[in-house]
Amino acid sequence: MIDLDSNATTAMLPEVVEAMLPWLSGNHANPSGSYRTAKLARKAIESARQQVAELIGADPDEIVFTGSGTESVNTALHSLDQLAGEGSALVSAIEHSAVLRFVESRGRSVKSLPVGDNGRVDPDAFSAFCEGVAYVSVMAANNETGVTQPISEMVAIAHEKNLPIHTDAIQAAGKIPIDVRSLGVDMLSLSAHKFHGAKGIGALYIRCGLQFSSLLHGGDQEKGRRSGTENTASIVAMGEAARLAKLGLEEGVPDRLREIRDAFEAFLLSEVRGCVRNGDPAFRLPNTSHLSFERCDSAGLLILLDDAGVACSAGSACMTGKQKPSHVQLAMGIPEQRAKTSLRFSFSRLNTMEEAMEAAAKVKKSVGKLRNVQGNGVGPVAVYTS
């Protein structure tokens, strides 16, 4: 299978698995214990905290390990919701469901920050939306289109109005450089499996000095900020994945990914009639390509591509299987009919140029096949499965 679905998840790198293994079988000690093996586990966790902090330019004390990216986001928003005064939660219209569903669950009114047809928030328009707002959450990069947001500009405006701001950097981390000091954000969420770590482990950056209210209460691990016995193996794996991601950023992995993605995209844009790119071509992650294929139902295309050995997705991973056009595309003003013809291709450092071009040829062939059976309209998926 050619894996072009890295925004959904990534494979663990061999070094990451290697780092994790001793904590899965060997040393199983609870890091809160007072004996030797427990102290080794504690030391390994603190070293991973340092590695994660280094990926985003934070101090280790500002990093709290969580049980997933979703938990990081929920923890950040819970704290903001608890501590902020009256006013709405301001979130962009293209946030991941981890943000959208959480803010909807709290009974506070929610204000939706629009994006342009390029998928970006206009920082000049942002100021007006801050009226009557208690806190802000805007993602650093979108999971579907890869479009990046002007976070530091928004932070400056939010802070001028004394509004705390969280950013979901789950897709951005490890793919583009992130520095919490230059961004200026108050909280920032990470998820290890998006940068070749394990699934079910995340981290939350909490700016030193920021008032914080925990979501989970219990044994007061993570300095009381996230109770629950630490997942030593996955934390160590996240540290190693962060170290390798930082190294990759320094060694030009983003440039290599951009080259592969651009070649893949250029082939399809020139070779497939009615193929359109979505999202700002410049302000986006170097690994993501979001394309619409006129007169091609994306669910049908996914089936043909699966058959041809290419993994990718329509909308975000969480939407797969649902026939609803994604809220991200609708927010960008992409008509519903076209939104249903879009696919996301997302690359990782494990992809080669050869397989990207092989996949591009398979996409071209699948589009042709689908258009032949489908005629002019967007029809039922069942036709293509037989």
* Positions in 132-161 near ligand PLP (CB under 6 A): 139, 143
Helix axes 69-83, 97-104, angle to 10 degrees: 30
Q: Does 98 bind ligand PLP (CB under 6 A)?
A: yes
Q: Interacting stretch for ligand PLP, rule CB under 6 A, among 118-126, 167-175, 227-235, 271-279?
A: 167-175
Residue 74 CA, distance from chain mean position = 14
By CB under 6 A, name the one of 12, 170, 245, 331 that touches ligand PLP: 170
Nearer to ligand PLP among residue 38 and residue 330 (C-beta): 330
By CB under 6 A, name the one of 10, 51, 70, 278 that touches ligand PLP: 70
Question: Which residue in the list 130, 208, 312, 318 is annotated as catalytic?
Answer: 318
By CB under 6 A, name the one of 49, 78, 96, 225 that touches ligand PLP: 96
Nearer to ligand PLP among residue 94 and residue 206 (C-beta): 94
HEC string of 17-57?
HHHHHHHCCCCCCCCCCCCHHHHHHHHHHHHHHHHHHHHHC
CB of 141 to ligand PLP, least distance (A): 7
Please count the other Cβ atoms lying within 10 Å of the Cβ belonging to residue 81: 19
SS3 191: strand
Q: Does 329 bind ligand PLP (CB under 6 A)?
A: no
Smallest CA-to-CA distance from 188 within 238, 153, 138, 234 is with: 138
Nearer to ligand PLP among residue 231 and residue 366 (C-beta): 231
Query: Would residue 176 be called left, alpha or beta, if left means φ above 0 and alpha means ψ between -120 and 50 degrees?
Result: beta
HEC string of 245-296?
HHHHHHCCHHHHHHHHHHHHHHHHHHHCCCEEECCCCCCECCCEEEEEECCC
Nearer to ligand PLP among residue 87 and residue 177 (C-beta): 177
Specify whether 275 is catalytic: no
Q: Does 202 bind ligand PLP (CB under 6 A)?
A: yes
- Please give the C-alpha separations between residue 154 and each of 120, 122, 222, in angstroms, as whole numbers: 12, 9, 29
By CB under 6 A, name the one of 68, 79, 234, 346 that touches ligand PLP: 68
Nearer to ligand PLP among residue 78 and residue 360 (C-beta): 78
Q: What are phi and psi of 141, to 5 degrees?
A: -150, 140
Q: Does 312 bind ligand PLP (CB under 6 A)?
A: no
By CB under 6 A, name the one of 69, 119, 248, 279 that touches ligand PLP: 69
Calpha distance 356→364 (Å, rounded):
12
Q: Does 168 bind ligand PLP (CB under 6 A)?
A: yes
Q: Interacting stretch for ligand PLP, rule CB under 6 A, among 37-45, 69-77, 112-120, 320-328?
A: 69-77
Calpha distance 73→69 (Å, rounded):
6
Residue nearest to ligand PLP (CB): 69
Q: Which residues are catalytic?
A: 318
Would you tell me which residues interact with ligand PLP (CB under 6 A)? 68-70, 73, 96, 98, 139, 143, 168, 170-171, 191, 193, 202, 317
